[in-house]
């Protein structure tokens, strides 16, 4: 029986149990990905699994009926690095535009469906809404880190109601949360917190996107906050209108009106307004919080003594360098230091920019500090210090992308697209290497965006200018089979095996030209030889024939798969048997003949490699994996080591099981997770192999999609296993 292990586990699974899981998983995912859906809006467009995978299935007929004919459909949402707004492209499969994204971090996500950049649609099957954004829907991915964002048990929360009030100019409204047990006739008045939204935001966003009610309900249930009344407004009123709101609250609710029991906070420009209110008129509010506030240069002539005497707490919050408030916060802290104003800084949130995902955390940290004594005045756990202002190089002065040591990447176009309407950058920076598009912003006659932080790894990208794929000509890297792609590496321990080894210590990659009798043309393969390769040594080198996928060619394993870097490192680390690796051209009508009659003989004629089956290996990805398994079926025992990445075994008809088992020392299979579109086929193949009795190894899914992030990891796992049995 083969050893069937899942990643991260050393516990073998029984074949019967695995077969049941294979069948159930294949049927469920095949149904989700490939079953046609009706045009009516009665079947959910979104399903979120318990482990955070979001599966989208948008009926093409609905899109056409409501948006007209489109060439592409994307899901726009806060899926990007640091929860940046990004686009996830769907694939047209029959009558449905579909795709799977994940696993997503726990949190609240908002999204809309968009066709051809401009044709937005609300998901009619999702009952959630965002009042300020009519096309948006939301979904919640639960988890321990966001448990305060979950709904409190029914009946245990506070109440939210609308307060309408008059100003000199107009009638306005605010939202008011009252705590559980609030009584208008309570003998003890409540303190009050005023929460302001930012420019372009709405008071309702505190509920729809900020999850304020859930936060207050849960903090109250845990007795982690003082009972208080919270007033949420849009934050764009004049000072006199703010006075009208405070008066209306005092008239309607049982609240304390003295400054010691009044707090104010806000997001973005609302945070700047909160600081101005507390610091320029320190007799009004005793507590002030700025969530990504944009007050950059201090507060003008500040009476530090009056502020420090009357204001009990000024606490500043900012996201990472993708937050527009990062630099203003840096300048503000210096201004407050110069003015000798006492304040607290929550530290730089490393995982979010200036968005509601960060502001939810800010609210959770800020509210328990109000109207009570607290002992902790430092930053939140995991938050870092300000490291000075973030300033990418001036436009046009450096090749793109510009990469910082901590993984923030700035992309910049040339001036060729100054008249473009929309520019985006598409890259493998979604969870586990899936692909997202992030919008760039105009910067004079160029376009720019800063993305991050990205984990150490190998990234590839292209620009999308008004729906057209474009090469970043400022980046000298190239991908032969994908002319619009460029690449870059984020250095770190996680990406060490994908980085270049020191000069002179690695192996060599050479071109091998041969005559193809199948293609009736001269063709080329690339060949890696190990450091110290000796064509005259007594024992021939073992050899791995490594194949690419459909739409690719022999250059892809070096340009995209980082095969040279992986093999160099593993050999220097002592993990690899010295071998020769031949990367051939698999684009042919008869791969078996091309491999056995053209590629293999040409490699043997040029290199000192073994012809002994026990010293030969064959592996490939996707189409190349299918070709590899085809050779295994047709010529069992010709290669003792066989591996397929993201490919199914196919039919078992006519397969010589005994010959495969007798002649194969290692048959190892790999596949991505449910974002890999071959996952259902692959899982069904395992049942076929089990039924046939073919011995194989499957170490569980490799997290990631049908892409290079997965296949690089597969090669990293496979290569050290070869020629050691």
Place of tokens 């073998």: 12
* pLDDT score of 508: 98
Residue 596, both tokens: 């056995």
Looking at the structure, do residues 168 and 123 belong to the same domain, yes or no?
no
* pLDDT score of 170: 85
Q: How far is Cα 323 from Cα 335, in angstroms, rounded to an integer?
A: 19
Domain CATH code at residue 423: 2.60.40.10
* Dihedral angle sign, alpha carbons of residues 648, 654, 660, 663: negative
Percent of the chain beyond pLDDT 70?
93
Position 565 in a domain:
yes
**Minimal CA–CA distance to 600: which of 614, 618, 624?**
618
Query: Does the pLDDT at position 715 exceed 60?
Result: yes
Rounded to the nearest 10°, the torsion over CA 289, 295, 301, 307 is: 0
* pLDDT score of 405: 92
Query: Does the pLDDT at position 112 exceed 70?
Result: yes
* pLDDT score of 329: 96
Looking at the structure, do residues 243 and 127 belong to the same domain, yes or no?
no
Position 99 in a domain:
yes
**Average pLDDT of the chain, as a whole number:** 92
DSSP state, residue 103: P
Looking at the structure, do residues 168 and 131 belong to the same domain, yes or no?
no
Task: Please say whether the beta carbons of 527 and 545 come within 8 A.
Answer: no
Position 387 in a domain:
no
Query: Does the pLDDT at position 613 exceed 70?
Result: yes
Q: How far is Cα 636 from Cα 182, in angstroms, rounded to an integer?
A: 77
Looking at the structure, do residues 165 and 263 belong to the same domain, yes or no?
yes
The per-residue pLDDT for range 232-261, each reduced to its tens digit, is: 998 665 566 788 899 999 999 999 999 999
**Minimal CA–CA distance to 58: which of 141, 50, 70?**
70
Looking at the structure, do residues 482 and 428 belong to the same domain, yes or no?
yes
Looking at the structure, do residues 627 and 662 belong to the same domain, yes or no?
yes
Query: Does the pLDDT at position 13 exceed 70?
Result: no
Query: Does the pLDDT at position 336 exceed 60?
Result: yes
DSSP state, residue 145: G
Q: How far is Cα 276 from Cα 446, in angstroms, rounded to an integer?
A: 35
* pLDDT score of 240: 64
Collapsed DSSP state (helix, strand, coil) of residue 188: coil
Please report which confidence band the pLDDT of residue 566 belongs to, taking 50, 70 and 90 as the band edges: very high
**Nearest 5 degrees, angle CA 205-CA 209-CA 214?**
105
Residue 242, both tokens: 């703010």
Looking at the structure, do residues 100 and 167 belong to the same domain, yes or no?
no
Give φ, ψ of 194 to 5 degrees.
-100, 120
Q: How far is Cα 76 from Cα 86, in angstroms, rounded to an integer?
A: 6
Find the mean pLDDT for residues 127-144: 97
Position 462 in a domain:
yes
* pLDDT score of 399: 83
Q: How many CB atoms lie within 10 A of CB 437?
A: 22
Q: How far is Cα 634 from Cα 117, in angstroms, rounded to an integer?
A: 48
DSSP state, residue 599: I
Position 455 in a domain:
yes
Please report which confidence band the pLDDT of residue 298 belongs to, taking 50, 70 and 90 as the band edges: low
**Minimal CA–CA distance to 322: which of 220, 410, 223, 431?**
410
Find the mean pLDDT for residues 578-585: 98
Q: How far is Cα 584 from Cα 525, in angstroms, rounded to an integer?
A: 4
Looking at the structure, do residues 208 and 325 belong to the same domain, yes or no?
yes
Q: How far is Cα 46 from Cα 334, in angstroms, rounded to an integer?
A: 47
Position 54 in a domain:
yes
Position 148 in a domain:
no
Cis peptide leading into residue 217 (ω within 30°)? no
Looking at the structure, do residues 132 and 42 belong to the same domain, yes or no?
yes
The per-residue pLDDT for range 34-81, each reduced to its tens digit, is: 333 344 457 999 999 999 999 999 999 999 999 999 999 999 999 999
* pLDDT score of 315: 98
Looking at the structure, do residues 526 and 654 belong to the same domain, yes or no?
yes
Domain CATH code at residue 165: 3.40.50.1820
Distances (CA, A) of 315 to 148, 215, 333: 21, 19, 11
Q: How far is Cα 335 from Cα 384, in angstroms, rounded to an integer?
A: 20
* pLDDT score of 398: 83
Output helix, strand, coil percentages for the chain, rounded to the nearest 5: 30, 25, 45
Looking at the structure, do residues 246 and 336 belong to the same domain, yes or no?
yes
212 CB contacts (<8 Å, ≥6 apart)? 177, 195, 206, 230, 232, 363
Structural domain range at position 437: 402-491
Percent of the chain beyond pLDDT 90?
86
pTM of the model: 0.90
Find the mean pLDDT for residues 375-389: 95
Find the mean pLDDT for residues 482-500: 97
Looking at the structure of the chain, the number of domains it has is: 4
Q: How far is Cα 374 from Cα 372, in angstroms, rounded to an integer?
A: 6
Task: Please say whether the beta carbons of 82 and 452 come within 8 A.
Answer: yes
Give φ, ψ of 344 to 5 degrees.
-120, 150
* pLDDT score of 300: 63
Q: Which of 80-94, 130-144, 239-253, 417-431 has the weakest average pLDDT?
A: 239-253
**Nearest 5 degrees, angle CA 597-CA 598-CA 602?**
120
Position 381 in a domain:
no
**Nearest 5 degrees, angle CA 19-CA 712-CA 539?**
100
Reported in sequence order, the residue ranges of 471-520 that DSSP labels E, i.e. its strands, are 486-490, 508-516
Find the mean pLDDT for residues 551-578: 98
Q: How far is Cα 564 from Cα 570, in angstroms, rounded to an integer?
A: 10
Give φ, ψ of 295 to 5 degrees.
-85, 100
Instruction: Write the DSSP assignment of 603-621 as a string of letters.
Output: HHHHS-B---GGGEEEEEE
Q: Of 470, 491, 512, which marks where a domain is finished?
A: 491
Query: Does the pLDDT at position 699 exceed 60?
Result: yes
The per-residue pLDDT for range 680-695, each reduced to its tens digit, is: 999 999 999 999 999 9
Helix (H) or strand (E) holding 217: helix 212-221
Looking at the structure, do residues 487 and 615 belong to the same domain, yes or no?
no
């Amino acid at each position: 029986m083969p050893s069937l292990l899942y990643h991260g586990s050393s516990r073998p699974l029984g074949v019967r149990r695995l077969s049941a899981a294979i069948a159930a998983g294949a049927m469920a995912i095949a149904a989700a990905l490939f079953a046609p859906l009706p045009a009516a809006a009665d079947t959910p467009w979104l399903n979120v699994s318990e482990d955070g995978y979001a599966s989208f299935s948008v009926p093409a007929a609905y899109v056409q009926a409501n948006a007209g004919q489109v060439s592409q459909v994307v899901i726009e949402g806060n899926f990007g690095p640091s929860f940046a707004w990004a686009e996830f492209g769907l694939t047209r499969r029959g009558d449905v535009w579909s795709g799977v994204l994940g696993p997503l971090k726990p949190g609240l996500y908002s999204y809309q469906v968009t066709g051809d950049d401009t044709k937005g649609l609300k998901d009619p099957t999702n009952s959630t809404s965002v009042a300020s954004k009519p096309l948006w829907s939301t979904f919640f991915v639960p988890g321990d880190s966001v448990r305060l964002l979950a709904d409190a048990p029914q009946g245990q929360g506070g109440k939210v109601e609308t307060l309408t009030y008059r100003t000199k100019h107009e009638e306005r409204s605010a939202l008011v949360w009252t705590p559980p047990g609030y009584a208008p006739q309570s003998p003890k008045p409540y303190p009050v917190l005023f929460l302001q939204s930012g420019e372009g935001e709405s008071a309702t966003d505190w509920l729809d996107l900020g999850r304020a009610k859930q936060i207050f309900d849960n903090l109250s249930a845990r007795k982690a906050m003082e009972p208080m009344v919270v007033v949420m407004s849009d934050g764009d009123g004049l000072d006199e209108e703010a006075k009208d709101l405070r008066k209306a609250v005092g008239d309607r609710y049982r609240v304390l009106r003295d400054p010691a029991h009044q707090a104010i906070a806000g997001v973005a420009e609302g945070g700047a307004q909160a600081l101005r209110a507390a610091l320029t008129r320190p007799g009004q509010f005793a507590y002030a919080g700025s969530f990504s506030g944009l007050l950059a240069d201090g507060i003008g002539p500040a009476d530090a003594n009056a502020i420090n005497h009357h204001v009990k707490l000024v606490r500043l919050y900012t996201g990472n360098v993708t937050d527009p408030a990062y630099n203003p916060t840096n300048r503000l802290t210096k201004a407050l230091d110069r003015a000798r104003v006492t304040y607290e800084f929550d530290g730089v949130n490393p995982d979010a920019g200036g968005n509601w995902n960060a502001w939810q955390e800010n609210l959770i940290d800020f509210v328990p500090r109000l109207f009570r004594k607290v002992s902790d005045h430092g930053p939140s756990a995991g938050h870092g210090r300000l490291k000075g202002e973030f300033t990418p190089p001036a436009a046009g002065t450096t090749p793109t992308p510009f990469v910082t040591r901590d993984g923030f990447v700035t992309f910049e176009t040339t001036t060729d697209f100054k008249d473009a309407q929309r520019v985006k950058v598409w890259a493998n920076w979604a969870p586990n290497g899936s692909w997202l598009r992030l919008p760039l912003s105009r910067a004079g006659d160029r376009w720019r965006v800063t993305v991050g932080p990205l984990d150490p790894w190998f990234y590839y990208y292209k620009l999308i200018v008004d729906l057209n794929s474009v090469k970043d000509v400022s980046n000298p890297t190239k991908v032969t089979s994908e002319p619009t792609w460029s690449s870059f590496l984020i250095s770190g321990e996680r990406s060490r095996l994908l980085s270049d080894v020191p000069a002179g210590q690695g192996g060599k990659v050479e071109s091998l030209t041969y005559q193809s009798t199948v293609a009736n043309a001269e063709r080329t393969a690339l060949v890696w030889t190990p450091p110290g390769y000796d064509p005259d040594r007594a024992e021939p080198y073992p050899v791995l024939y490594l194949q690419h996928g459909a739409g690719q060619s022999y250059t892809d394993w070096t340009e995209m798969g980082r095969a040279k870097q992986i093999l160099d490192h593993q050999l220097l680390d002592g993990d690899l048997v010295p071998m020769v690796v031949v990367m051939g051209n698999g684009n042919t009508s008869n791969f078996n003949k091309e491999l056995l009659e053209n590629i293999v003989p040409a490699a043997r004629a040029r290199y000192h490699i073994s012809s002994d089956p026990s010293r030969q290996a064959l592996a490939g990805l996707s189409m190349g994996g299918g070709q590899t398994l085809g050779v295994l079926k047709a010529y069992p025992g010709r290669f003792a080591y066989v591996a397929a990445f993201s490919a199914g075994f196919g039919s078992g008809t006519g397969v010589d099981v005994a010959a495969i088992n007798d002649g194969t020392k290692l048959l190892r299979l790999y596949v991505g997770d449910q974002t890999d579109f071959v996952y259902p086929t692959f899982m069904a193949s395992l049942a076929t192999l089990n039924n046939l009795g073919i011995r194989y190894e499957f170490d569980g899914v490799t997290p990631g999609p049908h892409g290079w992030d997965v296949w690089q990891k597969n090669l990293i796992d496979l290569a050290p296993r070869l020629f050691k049995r």
